[in-house]
Amino acid sequence: MHSPTAAADSTRRDSPFRPGYAALPGYAAAPPGYAALPNFSVPVPHPVMMRGGSRRSMLAGLCTFQAFLLMYLYFFSRFVQFLRLCTFQTFLLMYLYFFSRFVQFLRLCTFQTFLLMYLYFFSRFVQFLRLCTFQTFLLMYLYFFSRFVQFLRLCTFQTFLLMYLYFFSRFVQFLRLCTFQAFLLMYLYFFSRFVQFLRLCTFQTILLMYLYFFSRFVQFLRLCTFQTFLLMYLYFFSRFVQFLRLCTFQTFLLMYLYFFSRFVQFLRLCTFQTFLLMYLYFFSRFVQFLRLCTFQTFLLMYLYFFSRFVQFLRLCTFQTFLLMYLYFFSRFVQFLRLCTFQTFLLMYLYFFSRFVQFLRLCTFQTFLLMYLYFFSRFVQFLRLCTFQAFLLMYLYFFSRFVQFLRLCTFQTILLMYLYFFSRFVQFLRLCTFQAFLLMYLYFFSRFVQFLRLCTFLLMYLYFFSRFVQFLRLCTFQTFLLMYLYFFSRFVQFLRLCTFQTFLLMYLYFFSRFVQFLRLCTFQTFLLMYLYFFSRFVQFLRLCTFQAFLLMYLYFFSRFVQFLRLCTFQAFLLMYLYFFSRFVQFLRPCTFQTFLLMYLYFFSSSAPCDKGKMIPKEGSQYVYDAENRAYQYDRNMPLIFIGGVPRSGTTLARVMLDAHPSIRCGEETRVIPRILAMQVQWRRSTKEKSRLEEAGVTDEVLDDAISSFVLEVIAKHGEAAPYLCNKDPFTHKSTVYLSSLFPNAKFILMLRDGRAAVHSMITRKVTITGFDLTSYRNSLTKWNQAIENMYSQCVQVGPTKCMPVQYEQLVLHPKEWMERILTFLQIPWDEAVLHHQDFIGKPGGASLSKIERSTDQVVKPVNLDALTSWVGHIPDDVVRDMPYIAPMLQRLGYDPRQNPPDYGKPDAVVLENTKKLKGQEYQYNPDLVPAQVAVPGHPGDVNPPLGDVGEGKGQMEAPGVGENAQEQPQGEKRMDNVPVPPA
Residue 318, H or E segment: helix 318-327
Q: What are phi and psi of 869, to 5 degrees?
A: -85, -15
CA 644-848-758 angle, 5° bins: 30
Q: Which amino acid is at 107?
A: R
CA–centroid distance for 34 within its chain: 31
Q: Check 617, 626, 667, 699 and give the catalytic one.
A: 667
The yes-or-no answer on residue 667 being catalytic is: yes
Asked if the bond preceding 4 is cis, omega within 30° of 0, the reply is no
Q: Measure the CA–CA gap between 804 and 566, rounded to whole angstroms.
A: 70
Q: How many CB atoms lie within 10 A of CB 511?
A: 12
Q: Which amino acid is at 193?
A: R
Paired strand residues for 839:
845
Q: Cα dihedral angle (28, 34, 38, 42), rounded to 10 degrees?
A: -60
* Helical segments of 385-521, H only: 387-393, 400-407, 410-416, 422-430, 433-439, 446-453, 456-459, 465-473, 476-482, 488-496, 499-506, 512-519
Q: Cα dihedral angle (124, 129, 130, 131), rounded to 10 degrees?
A: 90
- β pairing state of 639-642 and 629-632: unpaired
> In Å, what is the CA distance from 277 to each residue of 281, 312, 750?
6, 30, 29
Q: Measure the CA–CA gap between 604 and 34, rounded to whole angstroms.
A: 37
Please say whether the beta carbons of 450 and 387 come within 8 A. yes
Q: Measure the CA–CA gap between 977 and 865, rounded to whole angstroms.
A: 9
Q: How many CB atoms lie within 10 A of CB 870?
A: 16
Q: Measure the CA–CA gap between 163 and 169, rounded to whole angstroms.
A: 9
The SS3 of residue 163 is: helix
CA 2-8-12 angle, 5° bins: 130
The SS3 of residue 275 is: helix
Q: Measure the CA–CA gap between 489 and 97, rounded to whole angstroms.
A: 68
Query: Would you report the helix, strand and coil content of the chain in percent, each value rounded to 5?
Result: 70, 5, 25
Q: How many CA atoms lie within 13 A of 327 on its CB side?
A: 10
Q: What are phi and psi of 587, to 5 degrees?
A: -65, -55
Please choose, from the candidates 843, 810, 847, 808, the residue with its C-alpha nearest in 3D space to the C-alpha of residue 829: 843
Paired strand residues for 631:
621
Q: Which amino acid is at 338?
A: L
Q: Which amino acid is at 504?
A: L
Q: Measure the CA–CA gap between 204 and 181, rounded to whole angstroms.
A: 35
Spatial neighbors of 96 by CB under 8 A, at least 6 apart, are: none
Please choose, from the candidates 809, 797, 853, 789, the residue with its C-alpha nearest in 3D space to the C-alpha of residue 656: 809
Residue 205, H or E segment: helix 203-210
Three-state secondary structure readout of 340-400 = CHHHHHHHHHHHHHHHHHHHHHCCHHHHHHHHHHHHHHHHHHHHHCCHHHHHHHHHHHHHH
Q: What are phi and psi of 500, to 5 degrees?
A: -65, -45
Residues marked active site are found at 667
